[in-house]
Amino acid sequence: MLFDTTQLVVALLWIAGAFALAIALIPLLGTLPPRGRFALISFVTFIAGLFFAAEFFLPVGEDNKNILTDPFQKMQGSLQVITALSLGLGTYGLVRLHLRNAVQRRPQWGYSLVLLIAFVVMAFFSIWNTMAEKGLFGIERTQLLENAFTLLFDYTLIQLDATMFSLIAFYIFSAAYRAFRIRSIEASILMFTAMLVMIGIVPLGKLISDSIGLPAVQTAEMRTNPFMLENILYNLRLPQIAGWIQETLNAPVQRAIEFGVGIGALAMAIRLWLSLERGIN
Amino acid sequence: MEARSIWERMMRIDRRILYVILAVNIIAALMARVAIEPDVPPPVKRFYDTVEALQPGDMVMVSSTWSAGTLAENQPQFEAVLKHLMRKRVRFTIISFAPPARDISHRLARRIAEENGYVEGKDWAHFGYTPDIIIAIKGMSEDIAQTIRQDVRRTPIAELEVMRGIKSLKDYKLVVDVTPSDTLGNWISYRPPDLKILYCPTSVMAAEAYTFLDSGQILGMITGAKGAYEYERLLGIVGLGTRFINAIQFSHVLIIFFILLGNFGMLMQRRASAS
């Protein structure tokens, strides 16, 4: 047993208390003037952010903990609950929107109906499957469940998902044929680099390099004498060229991009923490 | 109506014809039983060597955050890595940070485990889906049983035989991140410092990871189904990577051929217009 009865009762009381507090706070917040409401939300946001920042930056003792480490671990549990709640909120929004579409017979309401039916059927068998998997309430795995879940999950959801993603290959193929044109020096460099990498990274690159007689192995002598003809020929192998492009050209560029993104994210985080970010109105 | 030149017609080719050509190419390549020996790149070799260096009974975390959308790339990687871990008689646990990933990885792992004589709960376990990756990694770095609490079969973590002697991620030897998402940065930032990382991204995500390979923050990388094929050759097995590689490489050739053809058509059309 994960919890005993007392723990369960205490947990339920906590949930009920938190729920009652939240319900009571909503009208209270409504009575505050907008500036006061904003100040209160900013203050709570700042304190919450400060807690996480302080836990990260405060020095730790011999046990690798500081004063905030234990409360931080408790906070992690509540944050997981909040993240899980957002799933419920998303589900509620989705069902509400499509239910309204279907009931009011809005344009293309048939799609909404299909979505709702698929949602209910999939949710029913998924929940049943999870309960049977965990042995909750004595529910057992039956042949009907096995067949229905396999049909819905393995043979429908997975295949649809994979098909949707696979379509990208066809769009890329069509787009590459129509749009990839050598109209400038930059476009030419990009195109030939892409072609070298595309062939160099697959086994065909090795086959082509072998078939034109380029050395397949770099010997110790070749490594110590980089300008040796054999070494130059070895480095002209398609896999070596592709590897060089990825590791020597691509990696620094990626690092530069990530560095820029990191600084941008830090600036955005500080703006959010200090409630300077107004969002989109 | 003015007659169009062959180049003009070629430039305006119906996209459905292109789709059919690609589809036929993929089907033919999937059916072909030709295996070209790969030139195994250093990241895949280092991945293999890192797993090979594990001792029986060592503990590995497999972070499996992929769903059916990237099944063609992540499933071959996932299967090859699990087979290697089982061959080394290494204990492992799986965790997912996306809801669909939980079921896919659990069902696959269960099948592979049965084939290799691994018992769930004793030799391996699935921690299920956890919503927030940062909180989960930070929590597991201190105490797994407190953070995850139970596996997918509702067994408390502390009672799992596979977790004997394991309290936190600090007791793990390495983590293998199989994902098309940007989860790698979180593992690098929040894992215990000594925990080694191996990475299995999709091909599009691999470009971003070279910077971490270069810095040594990840020890090895299997890139998409192509990387899985190279890994399978090192393992000496025939898996999904081996089955998919021809479709990948012949599609590359076809795309290159059609790009060149399109450019050739454009040049000829320009020349015809000029004359």
Query: Do B203 and B68 have their domain in common?
Result: yes
Query: Rounded to an integer, what distance in angstroms lies between the CA atom of residue B66 and that of residue B74?
Result: 7
Q: Which two tokens stand for residue A136?
A: 């909750």
Range list of H helices, B53-129? 71-87, 99-115
Count CA atoms within 13 Å of residue B115 on its CB side.
12
Q: Is residue B173 part of a domain?
A: yes
Q: What is the pLDDT along chain A (281 residues), one digit of tens a residue?
A: 455 678 778 888 888 888 888 888 888 888 888 888 888 889 989 998 999 889 888 998 887 788 888 888 778 777 777 777 788 888 889 999 999 999 999 988 999 999 999 999 998 988 888 888 777 777 777 888 888 888 888 888 888 888 888 888 899 999 988 888 888 999 999 999 999 999 999 999 999 999 999 998 888 888 888 888 999 999 999 999 999 999 999 999 999 998 999 999 999 999 999 988 876 55
B135: containing domain: 42-238
Query: Do B120 and B140 have their domain in common?
Result: yes
Residues B198-252 pLDDT 10s: 999 999 999 999 999 989 999 999 999 999 999 999 999 999 999 999 999 999 9
Task: Flag whether residue A133 sits within 8 Å of chain B, measured between CB atoms.
Answer: yes
DSSP B55: P
One-character DSSP codes across A118-170: HHHHHHHHHHHHHHHHHTGGG----HHHHHHHIIIIIIIIHHHHHHHHHHHHH
Contacts with A202 from chain B: Cβ below 8 Å: 38, 226, 245, 248-249, 252
Task: Flag whether residue A251 sits within 8 Å of chain B, measured between CB atoms.
Answer: yes
Q: With contact defined as beta carbons under 8 Å apart, do B260 and B66 qualify? A: no
Q: Is residue B243 part of a domain?
A: no
Query: Do B69 and B171 have their domain in common?
Result: yes
Query: Do B268 and B140 have their domain in common?
Result: no
Q: State which amino acid sits at residue A126.
A: S
Q: Decide if B154 and A254 are in contact by the 8 Å CB cutoff.
A: no
Query: Do B116 and B22 have their domain in common?
Result: no
**Buried-state track B180-191, b at ≥16 Cβ within 10 A, e below 16:** bbebbebbbebb
Query: Do B263 and B154 have their domain in common?
Result: no
The chain B residue lying nearest A196, using CA atoms, is B256
> Among residues 15-44 of chain B, which lie with CB inside 8 Å of chain A?
15, 18-19, 22-23, 26, 36-39, 41-42
Query: Do B22 and B87 have their domain in common?
Result: no
Burial status of residue A72 (CB atoms within 10 A of its CB: 0-12, 13-18, 19 or more):
buried
DSSP B70: G
Query: Do B192 and B270 have their domain in common?
Result: no
Q: Is residue B50 part of a domain?
A: yes
**CATH code, B91:** 3.40.50
Task: Flag whether residue A217 sits within 8 Å of chain B, measured between CB atoms.
Answer: no
- Name the CA dihedral angle for B18, B24, B30, B33, rounded to a multiple of 10 degrees: -120
Q: With contact defined as beta carbons under 8 Å apart, do B200 and B227 qualify? A: yes
Q: What is the pLDDT along chain B (275 residues), one digit of tens a residue?
A: 556 778 778 878 888 999 999 999 999 999 987 788 898 999 999 999 999 999 999 999 999 999 888 989 999 999 999 999 999 999 999 999 988 888 899 999 999 999 999 999 999 999 998 878 888 898 899 899 988 888 988 899 999 999 999 999 999 999 999 999 889 999 999 999 899 999 999 999 999 999 999 899 999 999 999 999 999 999 999 999 999 999 999 999 999 999 999 899 888 888 888 87
* CA-angle at B181, arms to A176 and B41, nearest 5°: 70
Query: Do B98 and B219 have their domain in common?
Result: yes
Number of domains in chain B: 2
Query: Rounded to an integer, what distance in angstroms lies between the CA atom of residue A39 and that of residue A33?
Result: 10
Q: Is residue B1 part of a domain?
A: no
Strand order in the sheet with B59-64: B124-129, B91-96, B59-64, B174-179, B196-201, B220-221
Query: Rounded to an integer, what distance in angstroms lies between the CA atom of residue A166 and that of residue B117?
Result: 34
Among A134, A199, A243, the residue with its CB nearest the CB of B252 is A199
- Which residue in A52, A141, A177 has the most chain B C-beta atoms within 10 A of its own C-beta, making it the best mutation to test that interface? A177
Q: Is residue B244 part of a domain?
A: no
Query: Do B253 and B232 have their domain in common?
Result: no
DSSP B156: B
- Which residue in A69, A87, A152, A173 has the most chain B C-beta atoms within 10 A of its own C-beta, making it the best mutation to test that interface? A173
- Which residue in B30, B39, B269 has the most chain A C-beta atoms within 10 A of its own C-beta, making it the best mutation to test that interface? B39
Say whether B129 sits in a helix, a strand or coil: strand
Q: Is residue B147 part of a domain?
A: yes
Query: Do B178 and B142 have their domain in common?
Result: yes
Query: Do B183 and B258 have their domain in common?
Result: no
Q: Is residue B204 part of a domain?
A: yes
Q: Which two tokens stand for residue B27?
A: 């089907």
Task: Flag whether residue B14 sits within 8 Å of chain A, measured between CB atoms.
Answer: no
Task: Flag whether residue B145 sits within 8 Å of chain A, measured between CB atoms.
Answer: no
Q: Is residue B155 part of a domain?
A: yes
Query: Rounded to an integer, what distance in angstroms lies between the CA atom of residue B176 and that of residue B82?
Result: 10
